[in-house]
Amino acid sequence: MPRRKPPVIADALLDQLLAGSDARLAFETDGLLDQLKKALAERVLTPRWTITW
């Protein structure tokens, strides 16, 4: 079935994230989705020091 609109995340990036594992495993506890959520939360909550003069 063809897609209706272009994907937001490129297939090549998804392939890299899955690294050859079964995509269904991404939905399990501590799977890829949980790992991504944790990494994104850490990035958002980590202070970025910028100095502007």
Q: Residue 26: helix, strand or coil by DSSP? A: helix
The reported pLDDT for the residue numbered 6 is 83
* pLDDT for 52 beyond 80: no
- What share of the chain has pLDDT > 70, as a percent? 87
Amino acid in the structure at residue 15? D
The reported pLDDT for the residue numbered 3 is 64
* pLDDT for 29 beyond 90: yes
Is 0.85 topped by the overall pTM? no
The reported pLDDT for the residue numbered 1 is 62
